[in-house]
Amino acid sequence: MNGSTDALAGERRARLAVAMSGEGIDVLVVAGNAWRSDYLRFAAGVTVVEGQAFALIERKKPARLIIESAAEAARFRVEQPGLAVSWEPSPIEATENAIRALGAKRIALAPSAAVPYRLAMGPLGSGIARATATLDRLMLRKSPAEIRAFRRAAALADEGYAVFREAARVGRPEYALVADVEAFFRSRGCPENFQILGAGGKEVRGMHPPTERRLTPGDLVTTELTPCVDGYYAQICRTLVLGQPSEAQKRAFTVYNEALERGIAAVRTGATAGDVARAQNEVFRRHGLGDYVTSEYTRVRGHGLGLYVDGRPALLEDVDLVLEPDMTLIVHPNTYHPEVGYFVHGDSVRVISGGCEVLTRTPRELFSVPIA
Amino acid sequence: MRRGLISWSRDEVPPSVLEGRVARLQEQMRAAELGVVLIYTSFARPSAVAWLTHFVPYWNEALLVVLPTGAPVLLAAFSKRVHDWIRSVSHLGEVRSAPDLGRAAAAFLGEHLPKPLRIGVLELDALPWPVAEPIIKSEHGRALVDATGLFAAIRQPADEVEIRLARRAATIAVQALKAIPTGAKRASELLSVLERSARLDGAEEVLPRLAPDLRANATLRRLEGDALLGERYAVELSVAYKATWVRITRCVSTQAVPPSWRGAADRFVEIAERLNEANLSLEPQVAGSVRPGKTAAWTLETCRGSPPLSIVATGETPSPSALPGGSLACLSLQLDLDDGPWLGGEPLILGSRGQPSRLLI
């Protein structure tokens, strides 16, 4: 780990210890895997790439890590010398035994998304929701050090999008664009990125992993890039056209741009996640596009960002979570447009008292890539 | 998250092969009197569902429902607009939208299992609680049984289709390793080249681990940030192609290749070839071998459930689990040589009783 990662891990651990004390928890058992490694990263400073892992966090003792992959165990011993790491071919059983050996201590198990059946069926099952909520509260509002990491990730997202624009050329397959972007991120020391894209016209209803389809003139090319710095993900969504945009594409852009601006203007301390979604959706409804902000065509109008690429809160009209300072979000009115196809446009923001700070800086425009 | 090429070529993986695998599972289900088998998938645990249907989730979760007859049904937590993509890359019956997988599964079981029948779950112990809980609380809650052994019994040996995919994955990895610039000074430079090469060659995913300075430490790490490369370093590339994973490890010297490394590579081949279904141990040493070095660590991994690769045998545990001849596996080996550590790794086809294993490439 580098210095900033060490500092982040120490700071999170201190906050967690205070929260555990407040909740009367002596030992927190945190489950994770490559799909849900966010809680483990928060609590134990590790990002799991393979297999299952369980961290046993005691307030005043070094954390213990039980992990399924021998290779991962070996690297965590080097990367995190303060952790007591053990490789176990049956990590769930080993964790069950470790919990049993803790005896009369007050133990809690989290997070709900990653706790396995066998452990949940045991004596700690009834406390999963409460322990998960405790972690969620800690992870929603970012500390200054976390904001610094998020800010660096947002800057990297901007740079990554510039690489994507260069990569998007007629005749190239979709997966070549991702290859260029990933190569760029690795060259900047960024180990992880979530990226999906779409290319084509009205037939395109969403984004997906890259296919073998080759880009053609007139394509609308969408992407969301989500690089990770010190474990924290920031995201950018933009759309470009191969060649000159059509009038319909220009008209569509004005709708999405207005929706993004309204959404960002709605982000402020005290507003709800629903308010931000509603501000974006009202723009579509006013333009006669109300059908396209339903679940038939889109998922969310943005979401939380942090140690997970798709965190709380989901920006949906029925979500009443109140925004607080130093929450970090992507606001994106991404959805299908009946004249031009799927269209994306979004920026990463940090909630502040009177509004929000927009951290991605790529111009909000419908980019046009010249056809050679 | 998966962000490489995900596509389905009917030439590479014919529908009949996938149907044959499902039929083998269904045959086992009938023999075990299971009314249904549930198989969870996420990008962390994609391999069982991918082997049966060619579906790999790039993110999010899904649950495959296999009934004793008919095509498997996918309950997918993805939004509906992704369903067309799911159908384009996989061989499935119905795809159902299931934002809450557990509830959807409980409802599906209620519709399709009117009689009390046993419900097999692959890796039941590991099933995420939000998926398991609604099923446990349904009328079928007492019917769950673990189907891990049942699935493992049909998963290996590998068929020709899977071996071809693994060979392609291994070729992608080797080509990426060949692309390492001779003058690379920093890990970031190296990792960038590896990623570009592998992804341009069609890798579905590439996971690099790196020991940036072998003289300082031989542990393979996932780097966040950067590191200077030493005179000798090691790279492990885990590459997926069409859901088939291989691991390849190579040592790199910025100077002339040390003579000891050639001997180590020869020793690796000897060891790999000696493995077979009746002998999943590295000991005793090959009789008469004068190859250099002492074994510091080793693992033999294969795919027989939802993880892409899991350990069958290792130097850290005395008793390997059984694996039939013809299985696709990856051997990783670390040797302590007189002039420092050496790491190697290759995929292989495990030999049958009395037959040597064959390295894949």
The answer to whether residues A205 and A345 belong to one domain is: yes
Interface test with A, best of B2, B5, B242 (most A CBs within 10 A): B5
Q: What is the model's pTM?
A: 0.96
The answer to whether residues A148 and A133 belong to one domain is: no
Average pLDDT rounded to a whole number, residues A60-84: 94
Total number of domains in chain A: 2
CB contact under 8 A, A210 and B3: yes
The answer to whether residues A40 and A119 belong to one domain is: yes
The confidence score (pLDDT) of residue B321 equals: 81
CB-based contact (8 Å) between B5 and chain A?
yes
The answer to whether residues A309 and A335 belong to one domain is: yes
Interface test with A, best of B45, B81, B246 (most A CBs within 10 A): B81
The C-alpha torsion from B28 through B32 and B36 to B37, rounded to 10°, is -60
Of A140, A160, A183, the residue that ends a domain is: A140
The confidence score (pLDDT) of residue B316 equals: 80
CB-based contact (8 Å) between B175 and chain A?
no
Domains defined along chain B, listed by start: 15-155 (3.40.350.10), 160-359 (3.90.230.10)
Say how many CB pairs under 8 Å bridge A and B: 178
CB contact under 8 A, B59 and A186: no
ipTM comes to 0.96
Look up the domain containing A275 and give its range.
144-369
The answer to whether residues A161 and A98 belong to one domain is: no
CB-based contact (8 Å) between B87 and chain A?
no
Residues B306-350 have pLDDT tens digits of 999 999 999 887 677 889 999 999 999 999 999 999 999 999 999
The answer to whether residues A214 and A268 belong to one domain is: yes
Buried b (16+ CB within 10 A) or exposed e, A298-333: bbbbbbbbbbbbbbbbbbbbebeeebeebbbbbbbb
For residue A116, give the nearest of B129, B191, B194 by CB distance.
B129
Residues A114-155 have pLDDT tens digits of 999 999 999 999 999 999 999 999 999 999 999 999 999 999
The confidence score (pLDDT) of residue A10 equals: 87
How far is the alpha carbon of B189 from chain A, nearest alpha carbon, in Å? 5
The answer to whether residues A203 and A261 belong to one domain is: yes
Residues A35-55 have pLDDT tens digits of 999 999 999 999 999 999 999
Residue A132: its chain B contacts at CB < 8 A? none
Percent of chain A with pLDDT strictly greater than 70: 99
The answer to whether residues A318 and A271 belong to one domain is: yes
The confidence score (pLDDT) of residue B315 equals: 86
The confidence score (pLDDT) of residue B115 equals: 78
CB-based contact (8 Å) between B304 and chain A?
no
**CA distances (Å), A153 to each of A199, A207, A232, A307, B353, in order?**
25, 22, 7, 11, 53
Of A92, A107, A140, the residue that ends a domain is: A140
The confidence score (pLDDT) of residue A3 equals: 60
Cβ partners under 8 Å of residue B246, min gap 6 = B166, B169, B170, B173, B238, B239, B330, B347, B360
Does the pLDDT at position A24 exceed 90? yes
User: Among A285-294, B93-102, B206-215, B312-321, whose mean pLDDT is lowest?
Assistant: B312-321
The confidence score (pLDDT) of residue B293 equals: 84
CB contact under 8 A, A296 and B217: no
The answer to whether residues A41 and A166 belong to one domain is: no
Q: How far apart are CA A127 and CA A107, in angstroms?
A: 9
* A128 contacts B129 by C-beta, under 8 angstroms: yes
CB-based contact (8 Å) between B132 and chain A?
yes
CB contact under 8 A, B129 and A117: yes
CATH of the domain at A154: 3.90.230.10
CB-based contact (8 Å) between B319 and chain A?
no
Residue A120: its chain B contacts at CB < 8 A? 129, 132-133
The confidence score (pLDDT) of residue B72 equals: 98
The answer to whether residues A110 and A219 belong to one domain is: no
CB-based contact (8 Å) between B188 and chain A?
yes
CB contact under 8 A, A113 and B128: yes
The confidence score (pLDDT) of residue A7 equals: 82
Residues B270-319 have pLDDT tens digits of 999 999 998 888 765 555 666 778 999 999 999 999 999 999 999 887 67
The confidence score (pLDDT) of residue B116 equals: 75
The answer to whether residues A89 and A200 belong to one domain is: no
Average pLDDT rounded to a whole number, residues B351-359: 93
Residue B226: its chain A contacts at CB < 8 A? 189
First to last CA, chain A: 44
CATH of the domain at A71: 3.40.350.10
Residues A329-355 have pLDDT tens digits of 999 999 999 999 999 999 999 999 999
How far is the alpha carbon of B274 from chain A, nearest alpha carbon, in Å? 23
